[in-house]
Chains A and B, each alone.
Chain A
Amino acid sequence: MDLLRFTTAGSVDDGKSTLIGRLLHDTKSIFEDQLEAVEDASNRRGEGYVNLALLTDGLRAEREQNITIDVAYRYFATPRRKFIIADTPGHVQYTRNMVTGASTAELAIVLIDARHGVLTQSKRHGFIASLLGITHVLVAINKMDLVDWSQEVFDRITEDYAEFAQKLGVEDLTFIPISALKGDNVVDESDHMPWYHGSTLLHHLDHVNVGSHRNLVDFRFPVQYVIRPDQDYRGYAGRVASGTIRSGEEVMVLPSGQRTLIKSVDTFDGPVEEALTGDSVALTTADELDISRGDMIVRPLNLPVVATEIDAMLCWMSDEPMKGGTQYWFRQTTREAKAFISRVVYKVDVDTLHREDVEAFGFNDIGRVQIQTAAPIFFDRYEMNRETGSFILIDPHTNNTVAVGMIRGTVRSAEKLAEQLNEATTVERKASPDVVWEGWNVPLEAREEKNGHAAAVVWFTGLSGSGKSSIARELEQMLFAEGCQTMLLDGDQVRHGLNGDLGFSPDARKENIRRVGEVANLFYLQGNIVICTFVSPFQMDRERARALFPEGRFIEVFVDTPLEECERRDSKGLYAKARKGEIEQMTGISSPYEVPENPEIRVETVGREVTEVADEIRLAIHEVVRRGGAAHP
């Protein structure tokens, strides 16, 4: 039996409590004494039916005012799965509760009243779910009994909401027509809607595959507590936030940067060979290092971002508004540092999704901010890793949790990127005069479907001799063997024909990359996984290429080999020539290389096999290619 956590949101009248009551009731998760109490209460209140909503309205204040005022957690199980419901109210003033409920959920149920169609709040729920990284959304169109079980109504709402959800990047959007009150399509199939052939709500919950969002690649182990019963044992206790770890593997400890080997992965029941994402274990190391709570154990070739200037989406959770000069406690994983909000970039109107300029956030506000921390934070972007990309802010005077956030990146890189992207995307793509183009004949989606995988561009950048081409060639062979459609574009190859007229001046390099980007785009639109290996030393040029592709489909791989090593390898003899002055504008020697600040993938090559590195990249892009993007939303 596995575990699925989902959140429900809906306003008082959407029938959310009734739906949950129905799920609990029909899965026999309600006991007789609970049901009796509800029957009694329904009778006392003069209701003509058993009000299942009463099962979930926990606190007296709520029963009196007929509202739900906080997140409540409910439990039920089928033979396949245990479910945890984070039940959140949908009033406008309780954005904070929806955010809370969504933070641990893998799926969201958005309830829509069939009579009213898509209301602002249904959109708000969708927005918050996507902001919190939920990629599975189930839209339950409720009260179908009150619209005569009409397919037309269902179709119209489905179309409306799907159009809105497109903007949110929801990967899995499912619509189910139900009547929570009567039980249609909740647990049992409905007799009233023969036109609907999909699953019931419970069947969908029982079978939906939500595992894909877990980050099983990047090993992150925030140290929680040091277990030290005596001088002979020193175990670093914690829960594997993402990835896996085995004894014998080399690790690096942040912030010290010291390297050591994992001696053992310990549990109460004895040492285990491997700890998986989510396991609570204790790690021991081969060398005695000074490691304490708040440190992070990672693999040396797969590091999180280390920064003190953080760009994040923030939700303000407190009645007390944000104060400019206040120092807050910034808590992320097991690490804590003093921090202040250095800039409010914008606030999002959760109903219209419009951005507003504001000075500070108040209760329930959501928007983008920049945060300066007093000590370095080790993180991944929230979209890539919920565990290491989330944080809270604590008011040092009241000790309350006043805000919660999702990290987008470092301030510098995110801002620069935005500026450059802006410029890059506004670069007009030239067209010959008097040419009218009718658009693609076979759409990309159809090609992707035929190929059985998503199209993407894997862009290798790095110094000459860094190993780009060897790794790329190996990677292409691997993907090809898996049955993927691939194409490899190589610097030397394109300079032989297409770009044979170009030299190595910055302008020529720029044109080189422009043409390559366009060619890559053609192959991309043909459904290929296009592997490009170009020194591409200028960030701006790489960003221009990136701007040609949808979010998430351009994967920048930085092959990070030190110049000395590249020069030592000097497979083409170029460095030797450059040192003698025979080549002008050699990247790294006489022409600059701008290191990518936020590549999707960064690999080191020193002392490693080509196949090992290629396989690491293959695993990392697998997710994107398999599920069709959103690795870099």
Chain B
Amino acid sequence: MTLPARSHLRQLESESIFLMREVAAQFERPVLLFSGGKDSILMVHLARKAFSPAKIPFPLVHVDTGHNFPETLEFRDRLVQQVGATLHAGSVQASIDSGKQKEEEGLNPSRNRLQILTLLETLDELKADAALGGGRRDEEKARAKERFFSHRDRFGQWDPKNQRPELWNIFNGRKVMGEHFRVFPLSNWTEMDVWQYIAAEEVDIPSLYFSHRRNVVERDGVLLAESEFNQLEGDEAWTEKTVRFRTIGDASCTGATESTASTLDEIIAEVSATRVTERGGRHDDKHSEAAMEDRKKQGYF
């Protein structure tokens, strides 16, 4: 415990550990949702801390859109091996192949919406009664009202008007069979807190977060990386730029930002000077003002 007493990071860390232990104590078959991004890497780090010297007492679940940066999967497999966790990967491609859902129309289909069904199916298969996610309240307006323990009905849906009161540090995870909870131990963290903590604790994160040279194309103000999932439109052309990713999601819609930040300190300096939200680089949030709220209601993370 090298973090100074009463410092905000020590308090946030302790709160998150408390939440993870509540989940292990209150639920029978919890899982930890792992996206490959820094927030879910932080979640794994905190889960190790919560249950040390024992192993993390729940499996990791990765909903694989099939649109991954190769770095993400390499990192994931290394981390899983390192912490000795079990990994379940749910595949959006498999859901499409089995005819349960259809690829979006258009040139560069995003699989963000499709993740929802695959996620719910995977949770169903595992009979998961709680899914830990790395969502933070500072990410988006609709998330500001999210509970730590977020109740979902049998259809995995979130009803913003019907959430349980959450007071002090008492969390009510009681439910009937078939219902489950999403639990967000990082609720009170901000992007800055995450970076400061990763730096203070020397948490290992994928190289995508640090600046590198990459071919990108600018579309609607978002820099999309060259990959098999992104095709050029009209007279667009790939240009090589020095970029890094602030979030890592579906490769077809996660934008890069131009940056020369190649160390954690430089990233922190950049984040504190940055004037655009992390999700500003995500094409999927721009669909409508209430985009996130709609997806959350359906069961999105």
Residues of A within 8 A of B (CB): 1-3, 31-34, 37, 41, 55-61, 63, 69-75, 77, 81-82, 84, 87, 96, 99-100, 103-104, 211, 224-225, 227-229, 233, 235, 237-239, 266-269, 272, 276, 278-280, 282, 293, 317, 329, 331-334, 386-387, 390-392, 394, 399-401, 404
Chain B 155-190 residues near chain A, CB threshold 8 A:
160-161, 163-170, 172, 174-176, 187-188, 190
- Segment touching A, from B32-40, B43-51, B112-120, B233-241: B43-51
Interface residue total, chain B, C-beta cutoff 8 A: 58
B154 an interface residue at 8 Å Cβ cutoff? no
Residue pair B1, A37 in contact (C-beta under 8 Å) = no
Most interface-central of B1, B54, B138 (chain A CB within 10 A):
B1
Mostly, the B contact residues are: loop
- Going nearest first, the 8 A-B pairs with the smallest beta carbon separation are A229-B54, A103-B167, A268-B49, A268-B52, A399-B174, A280-B17, A33-B280, A58-B141
Stretch at the interface among B2-10, B66-74, B210-218, B256-264: B2-10
What is the chain B residue whose CB lies nearest that of A226?
A: B25
Tell me if B284 is interfacial: C-beta within 8 Å of chain A. no
Contact, CB under 8 Å: B21 / A332: no
- Listed by A's residue number, 8 A-B pairs whose Cβ atoms lie within 8 Å are A59-B145, A60-B293, A73-B187, A74-B144, A77-B190, A224-B25, A239-B18, A399-B172
Minimum distance in angstroms from B88 CB to a CB of chain A: 22
User: Cβ of B53 and Cβ of A394 under 8 Å apart?
Assistant: no
Q: Report the separation of the CA atoms of residues A317 and B174 in the bound assembly, to the nearest whole angstrom.
A: 17
Considering the complex, give the chain B residue whose CB is closest to the CB of A241. B169
B227 beta carbon closer than 8 Å to chain A:
no
A282 to B5, CA, bound (A): 17
Given contact pairs A3-B6, A401-B166, a sample of 12 additional A-B residue pairs in the complex whose CB atoms are under 8 Å apart: A73-B137, A100-B166, A103-B168, A211-B6, A239-B169, A276-B6, A386-B168, A390-B170, A394-B172, A400-B172, A401-B165, A404-B167
Q: Which of B242-290 contact A (CB under 8 A)?
A: 274-277, 280, 289-290
**Which of A33, A61, A399 is close to B276, meaning CB atoms less than 8 Å apart?**
A33
Task: From the candidates B24, B51, B168, B187, name the one contacting A387 in the complex (CB within 8 A).
Answer: B168
A70 and B188 contacting across the interface, CB-CB below 8 Å = no
Nearest neighbor of B143 in chain A, beta-carbon distance = A58
Any chain A CB within 8 A of the CB of B22? yes
Query: Please, which residues of chain B bring their CB within 8 A of the CB of A399?
Result: 172, 174-176
Q: In the complex the two chains form, is A331's CB within 8 Å of B172's CB?
A: yes
Count: A-B pairs, CB below 8 Å: 170
- Specify which chain A residues have a CB less than 8 angstroms from the CB of B193 in the assembled complex: 82
Is B85 an interface position by the 8 A CB rule?
no
Q: Which residues of A contact B7 (CB under 8 A)?
A: 1-3
* Interface check B11, CB cutoff 8 A: yes
Which of B14, B25, B275 sits near A334, CB closer than 8 Å?
B25
Kindly report which residue of chain B lies nearest to residue A87, judged by CB atoms.
Answer: B144
Nearest CB of B to A74, in Å? 6
Min CB distance, A178 to chain B, in Å?
A: 23
A20 smallest CB distance to B (angstroms): 11
Contacts of A74 in B (CB 8 A): 138, 144
In Å, the complex CA distance between A394 and B165 comes to 11
Are A387's CB and B169's CB within 8 A?
A: yes
Query: Which residue, of B53, B137, B167, B169, has the highest number of chain A Cβ atoms within 10 A?
Result: B167
A368 CB to closest chain B CB (Å) equals 18
B165 A224 Cβ-Cβ under 8 A: no
Within 8 A of A (CB), among B179-226: 187-188, 190, 192-193
Inter-subunit contact A59/B277 (CB<8 Å):
no
A59 adjacent to B293 (CB under 8 Å): yes
Task: Using known A-B contacts A31-B275, A73-B188, A82-B193, determine if residue A229 contacts B168 with beta carbons closer than 8 Å.
Answer: no
B142 CB within 8 Å of chain A = yes
Q: Given known contacts A59-B160, A77-B192, A280-B21, is B1 in contact with A267 (CB within 8 Å)?
A: yes
Q: In angstroms, how far is the closest chain A Cβ from the Cβ of B254? A: 15
* Chain A residues whose CB sits within 8 angstroms of the CB of B190 once the complex forms: 75, 77, 82
Query: Separation in Å of the B191 CB from the closest CB of chain A?
Result: 10
List residues of chain B with CB within 8 A of the CB of A75. 137-138, 188, 190
Q: Which residues of B are found within 8 Å of A58, using beta-carbon distances?
A: 141-142, 144-145, 293
